[in-house]
Structure 1
Amino acid sequence: MNVRFATSANYYPFAYLDEQKQIQGFDIDLARAVCAAVDLICTFQHQRFDSLLLSLQFGRFDAVISALDITSERKEKVDFTDSYFNNSPVFVSKKLPLATFSTAGKFIGVIANSSNQAYLIKYEKENSFIVAYATYSEAFSALTNGKIDAVFVDQAAASEFLKVADNTLYFYAQKISEAQQVFFSEGFAIAIKKGNLALRQRLNLGLKIITENGTYQTIYERYF
């Protein structure tokens, strides 16, 4: 059985294009391991993040893996496997002397149609200006060039940004409060077309197998 995966290959280290323009990353290696564990053949295609779930609903793909948060809104449109990664977001902003970052009156970059954007709309819409980008690289570029004040990003992506050159000298990451982290508590999962119970069960079995046999940990340590 062939499973056609869609992903947005603009989010290192979860999914990205290598020098040969091949899709690589934590999500890709994870999906390949899951498929191998339950005798599925998987293929991957790059799509814009904001078109992933719509393409899935229309049957262009069988599954989506793209650092995708499980949210109540998305559950109305698609089904999800068990979670495979928990990753609360942070605000990345310029370092301020003797002060912590405040969102009040600030321009905050975020990925369009992401759960992070939904969070900002719910909690920060009255206090800040939300600027949506297609990729985090665009958002971080805007931050570096002073066009926005912060980027609201998952911890893994923030860590990658802060590893680059002298970024830690000028930028830092600040976590959201524990009370608000419940908005993201369900983690990342593979999305499948609503009602495809057979594929959901097969992928969940694959996740269980690779977690129990140590394959998941090996893949995790490769990237994090």
Structure 2
Amino acid sequence: MLRLSIQTILRGALMAGGLGLLLAATVPLQLAAQDRTPMRVAVEGAFPPFNYLDANNKLQGFDIDIANALCEAGKFECEFIIQKWDDMIPDLVAGKYDAIISSMSMSLERRQKVAFTAQYYTSPSVFIARKDSPISDVSPAALSGKKLGVTSSTAQESYANHLYPDMKKTVFRSSPELYKGLSDGRVDIILEDKLAIYDWIANTKAGTCCEFKGPDLVDITYFGEGAGIALRLDDKERLARLNEALKAIKDDGTYDMINAKYFPFSIQ
């Protein structure tokens, strides 16, 4: 009965001149999944609002939405792998995954180890202190002897080590721990990516304790030229496809929709 039903459908479509339309509607759907290239994507999962685990232990955030959009536009079959930040680049080079889409700044030091796509967002770094802090001047001389908090293996840690050698530094394992260290008074001031901490300051009760101090910091040597997707140096084909996909989601408005979901201003 099933065979007769299929034959009847095909015969009817052929008589109506619609067999080509029927095949066109079914064959691409069957081939779509087969045509996709597997890609393992590393993400930290501890850097809200860019990447984090929600109450159901599911990855969420700007990076995740951008990654999903790029996987769709670039025809990749993507698998997310949660990875400790310190091990991100070594494990990428070792082949444990294929790409890092986790708000990684494209510093000169990192460019020696990995290849980067075009920038997918940009953000300055900034100092943050409690509102009751007497700190107003954030020059190295003014902050000498103060307790500074930074996150491990970040551009901010490198910047502070080189330009603020006289500060007492506490290195935290993740951004949420860094913010808690500031609100709890373990450190006097922290240095962080401005967009990363924006949500904490603007939208959380804990973040009302604190405010930005001093100017935006945009030193290319340490902070690079914005955030990019990191790949192995020899992975040129994937690099080209991801750059094409990034251009596509910017051209068709997908990027702007994701941007608006997290920020009331453009971060391109």
Separation in 2, partners of 1:187, 1:217: 17
Q: Taking CA–CA contacts closer than 8 Å with sequence separation of 6 or more, which of the two structures ends up with the larger relative contact order?
A: 1
Secondary structure in structure 2 of the residue aligned to 1:86 = coil
TM-aligned CA deviation for residue 158 of structure 1: 2.1
Count, aligned residues: 221
CA distance in 2, matches of 1:112, 1:118: 9
**Residue 18 of structure 1: CA displacement?**
1.2
Counterpart of 1:131? 170
Residue 34 in structure 1 maps to residue 73 in structure 2: no
Contact 1:8 1:15 in 2 (8 A): yes
Percent identity among equivalent residues?
30
Give, in angstroms, the shift of residue 8 of structure 1.
Answer: 0.4
Q: Cα offset for 1:107?
A: 1.3
Asked if residue 109 in structure 1 is aligned to residue 149 in structure 2, the reply is yes
Is residue 137–residue 214 contact of structure 2 (8 Å, CA) maintained in 1?
no
- The equivalent residue for 2:255 is 216
Q: CA RMSD in A?
A: 1.7
Q: Aligned partners of 2:155, 2:115: CA distance in 1, in Å? A: 16
Unaligned regions of 5+ residues in structure 2, if any? 1-36, 264-268
Question: Residues of 2 paired with 1:54 and 1:190: CA distance?
Answer: 15
Q: Indicate whether 1:80 and 2:116 are aligned.
A: yes
Shift of 1:104: 2.1
Q: Unaligned regions of 5+ residues in structure 1, if any?
A: none
Shift of 1:9: 0.3
> Among 98, 103, 115, which residue is 1:67 paired with?
103
**CA deviation map 1:180-219 (0-9, x unaligned):** 5344350000000111100100000000000111100000
Q: 1:181 aligns with which of 215, 219, 228?
A: 219
Q: Is 1:149 aligned to residue 185 of structure 2?
A: no
Give the Cα separation in 2 of the matches to 1:99 and 1:123.
Answer: 18
**Aligned-partner Cα distance in 2 for 1:85–1:189:** 7
- How far apart in 1 are the matches of 2:57 and 2:133? 42
2:80 to 44, 52, 55: 44
What SS class does the counterpart of residue 169 from structure 2 fall into?
strand
Compute the TM-score of the two structures, normalised by the length of structure 1: 0.93
Contact residue 90 and residue 158 of structure 1 kept, 8 A: no
Alignment CA distance shift 1:153-1:98 (3 Å): closer
Give the equivalent residue in structure 1 for 2:162: 122
Distance in 2 of aligned mates of 1:166 and 1:108: 19
By how many angstroms is 1:111 displaced? 1.2
* Matched residue SS, 1:195: coil
Tell me the CA shift for residue 16 of structure 1: 0.4
Counterparts of 1:76 and 1:189 in 2: how far apart (Å)? Answer: 14
8 A contact 2:200–2:206 mirrored in 1: no
- 1:167: how far off? 3.5
**8 A Cα contact 2:43 2:82, kept in partner:** yes
Whole-angstrom distance in 2 between the partners of 1:143 and 1:73: 28
Relative to 1, partners in 2 of residues 1:59 and 1:152: Cα closer, same or farther, differing over 3 Å?
Answer: same
d(CA) in 2 for partners of 1:191 and 1:86?
15
